[in-house]
A and B are shown apart, each in its own frame.
Chain A
């Protein structure tokens, strides 16, 4: 088998041309390394402080954080991926020439998403219990309102990322998969807000998920349900649902105006 430089260079150029026009590839190079370093840096900082103070609860806080994060990520992705599945199979036009409307599609996707979350939650609870003797359900019913807030924010983000996919096609599908990870360092999933640098905190406080994770930790560490966090997350959720819902509708209208629905692939 011979190896020719010109053929290798052709493939290198092939990748470079893609790279030049691809936001996800630039994210791979710059954004994700920064995010990874930031998240693990903040976690390390939190662990260092908490082992001196309240180390006993760290495992619980982590497992609850991971569980909540999974719920959030799944709910967000499920909504976007349900649209992407139909785009990938080139069947989306068949759906939109039927009497089906967007609200019905979104509600159906949310319903399926909830089913999947319940199954995921049960699997995670079982694993946490058998591997780490940590009972997720010990965290109590008080966490349910926060889970609800987290789901609403995830669906709002799902609407936003689906709107982007509608408008820009599958070139933008990476957003559907990664948007939750983009938020991860800011919304204090695995560490409290106070661990973050002061200049990042205003950004964090703009997202309902931050109050959900803060509220979750407070319930686990003190057993107190923080109503203030709950209502702030509720207010922010109403705002994001309205804005991203409007964005989704505007993108869909734009796609119909530009004749892009049939060309989505």
Chain B
């Protein structure tokens, strides 16, 4: 990947809080148009990492380069080209949506108010324009926050649990909008969420942080391969005679219910087990296979 494509380079950042090492030398990069998920249990260091990139926390060691420049000595330049939204940060409650957006447009040097109108229309939020921010619902506020985050046409967008206060329908719409924006503008995104399905849907790559360290860095698909076991569920019309012997002989651990079996096993073993069941003449009514997902990976790392 060429240097021009590198949007963010975090190198060996460390952060201590009263002797506690919150970040133990975290390094990663982000390329143009890429969406990187930052995952980890509470206290893993995700928010600290994001806030260091945003320069509201000073790291104790390490460096952050954004658009090829040292972020800390080029604060104005880099912040001008990036933006941020979070479910935990608000706008000014006492003034209207439009007034808020106008303030932020000015902060980013966006002089044309038509940009605000264009985004309000794009996000189907024109009816909120003259409402006071304090009167908005969580979903409406999130929508306005993302509009705020897009006002300056950022090249890098940091999203800290952006959908945590949204219902599934609004969250899904929000993701559609983000995907559209990403496709149209090739924005790079750093994304944190506790919703693993959302991360799988949105992110090209995922970093797992645990106790201030990166413990995994890969695509969501490859990360799920770290969990070898799949769950095979086999349902019979009637539980076959001799099923216990069948399982014991092959040393298969299974949860046996009235007319079904639930077997945790490796991917490659599934066709073998099914083939042998057919060979034994078992009448199988239904088969389902649960593949491990990012949530399983999350739990694995969180419990390590």
Chain B residues, CB < 8 A from A94: 84, 89-91, 104, 148
Say yes or no: is B301 at the interface (Cβ < 8 Å to chain A).
Answer: no
A86 to B103, CA, bound (A): 13
Q: A89 and B57: CB pair below 8 A?
A: no
User: Given contacts A89-B91, A257-B58, are A97 and B83 in contact (CB under 8 A)?
Assistant: yes
Q: B56 and A256: CB pair below 8 A?
A: yes
Chain A residues, CB < 8 A from B15: 259
Closest residue of A by beta carbon distance from B91: A91
Say yes or no: is B80 at the interface (Cβ < 8 Å to chain A).
Answer: yes
A257 to B104, CA, bound (A): 26
B159 to chain A minimum Cβ distance, whole angstroms, is 12
Chain B CB count within 10 A is highest, among A90, A97, A100, A257, for A97
B294 to chain A minimum Cβ distance, whole angstroms, is 26
User: Given contacts A97-B84, A99-B75, A99-B76, are A261 and B56 in contact (CB under 8 A)?
Assistant: yes
Q: A89 and B51: CB pair below 8 A?
A: no
A96 to B83, CA, bound (A): 11
**Per a CB cutoff under 8 Å, which of A85, A100, A259 touches B57?**
A259
Say yes or no: is A93 at the interface (Cβ < 8 Å to chain B).
Answer: yes
**Per a CB cutoff under 8 Å, which of B57, B79, B89, B91 touches A99?**
B79
Q: A98 and B104: CB pair below 8 A?
A: yes
Closest residue of A by beta carbon distance from B148: A94
Q: Using C-beta atoms within 8 Å of the partner chain, give the interface range for chain A.
A: 20 to 34
Scan residues 44-64 of chain B and give those whose CB is less than 8 A from a CB of chain A. 47-48, 51, 54-58
Q: A89 and B94: CB pair below 8 A?
A: yes
A92 to chain B minimum Cβ distance, whole angstroms, is 9
Say yes or no: is A127 at the interface (Cβ < 8 Å to chain B).
Answer: no
**Per a CB cutoff under 8 Å, which of B47, B83, B92, B107 touches A86?**
B92
Say yes or no: is A34 at the interface (Cβ < 8 Å to chain B).
Answer: no
Chain A residues, CB < 8 A from B17: 258-259
A256 to B55, CA, bound (A): 8
Say yes or no: is A95 at the interface (Cβ < 8 Å to chain B).
Answer: yes
**Per a CB cutoff under 8 Å, which of B51, B75, B76 touches A262?**
B51
Say yes or no: is B93 at the interface (Cβ < 8 Å to chain A).
Answer: yes
Q: B90 and A91: CB pair below 8 A?
A: yes
Chain A residues, CB < 8 A from B236: none
Chain B residues, CB < 8 A from A25: none
Say yes or no: is A222 at the interface (Cβ < 8 Å to chain B).
Answer: no
Chain B residues, CB < 8 A from A85: 92
Chain B residues, CB < 8 A from A48: none
Q: A93 and B56: CB pair below 8 A?
A: yes
Q: A98 and B56: CB pair below 8 A?
A: no
A259 to chain B minimum Cβ distance, whole angstroms, is 4
**Per a CB cutoff under 8 Å, which of A90, A258, A259 touches B89?**
A90
Closest residue of B by beta carbon distance from A253: B58
Chain A residues, CB < 8 A from B107: 95, 98-100
B143 to chain A minimum Cβ distance, whole angstroms, is 15
Q: What 3 A-B pairs have minimum CB-CB distances, sorted nearest first?
A: A90-B90, A98-B107, A99-B79
Subset of 5 A-B contacts with CB under 8 Å = A93-B56, A96-B55, A99-B75, A259-B17, A261-B56
